[in-house]
Structure 1
Amino acid sequence: MSSAFPVICILHSLIATTSGALMMFHRKEIYTFTHGNETAAKLMGSTPQDQLLIRTSDSFSGLLLFAIGLLIFMVSFIKDREFQYFFAKGCALLHVFMALWRVNFERRVEVLAWDWLRLTAGDILLGLSWVLFLVCSWREKYD
Structure 2
Amino acid sequence: MASSAFFIICVLHSLISVTCGAFIMFYLKEIFVFGHGTETARKLLGSTPHDQLLIQISDSFAGLLLFVIGCFLFMVAFVRDKEFQGFFAKGCILLHISMALWRVYFERRIEDLGIRLAEAACW
The TM-score by the shorter chain falls in which range?
A: 0.7 to 0.9
Tell me whether 1:67 sits opposite 2:68 in the alignment.
yes
Q: TM-score, normalised by structure 2?
A: 0.84
In the TM superposition, what whole-angstrom CA distance separates every residue of 1:46-98 from its partner, at most 9, and x where no partner exists? 11011000000011111111000000010001111111100000000001111
Partner of 1:128: none
Partner of 1:10: 11
Where do residues 98-137 of structure 1 align in structure 2 (5 Å cutoff)?
98-109=99-110, 110-111=112-113
Partner of 1:76: 77
Unaligned ranges ≥5, structure 1: 114-143
Q: CA deviation at 1:30?
A: 1.3
Unaligned ranges ≥5, structure 2: 116-123
Whether the 8 Å contact between 1:106 and 1:112 is mirrored in structure 2 is: no
Which amino acid letter does the alignment assign opposite residue 34 of structure 2? F
Q: CA deviation at 1:21?
A: 0.5
Q: CA deviation at 1:111?
A: 4.0
Q: TM-score, normalised by structure 1?
A: 0.73
Percent identity over the alignment is 65
Cα distance 1:47–1:12, how it changes in 2: closer, same or farther (>3 A)?
A: same
Q: Distance between the aligned counterparts of 1:105 and 1:31, measured in 2?
A: 14
Cα distance 1:112–1:71, how it changes in 2: closer, same or farther (>3 A)?
A: farther
Aligned residues: 113
Q: Distance between the aligned counterparts of 1:35 and 1:104, measured in 2?
A: 16
Q: Distance between the aligned counterparts of 1:4 and 1:68, measured in 2?
A: 19
Tell me whether 1:52 sits opposite 2:53 in the alignment.
yes
Q: CA deviation at 1:103?
A: 3.7
Q: CA deviation at 1:112?
A: 6.7
Deviation above 4 Å: which 4+ runs of structure 1? Answer: none
> Which range is displaced more, 48-57 or 27-36?
27-36
Cα distance 1:27–1:108, how it changes in 2: closer, same or farther (>3 A)?
A: closer
Partner of 1:90: 91
Whether the 8 Å contact between 2:17 and 2:69 is mirrored in structure 1 is: yes
> Whose relative contact order is higher, 1 or 2, with alpha carbons under 8 Å and at least 6 apart?
2
Tell me whether 1:23 sits opposite 2:24 in the alignment.
yes
Cα distance 1:112–1:95, how it changes in 2: closer, same or farther (>3 A)?
A: farther
Q: Distance between the aligned counterparts of 1:24 and 1:86, measured in 2?
A: 31
Q: Distance between the aligned counterparts of 1:54 and 1:9, measured in 2?
A: 30
Whether the 8 Å contact between 2:29 and 2:41 is mirrored in structure 1 is: yes
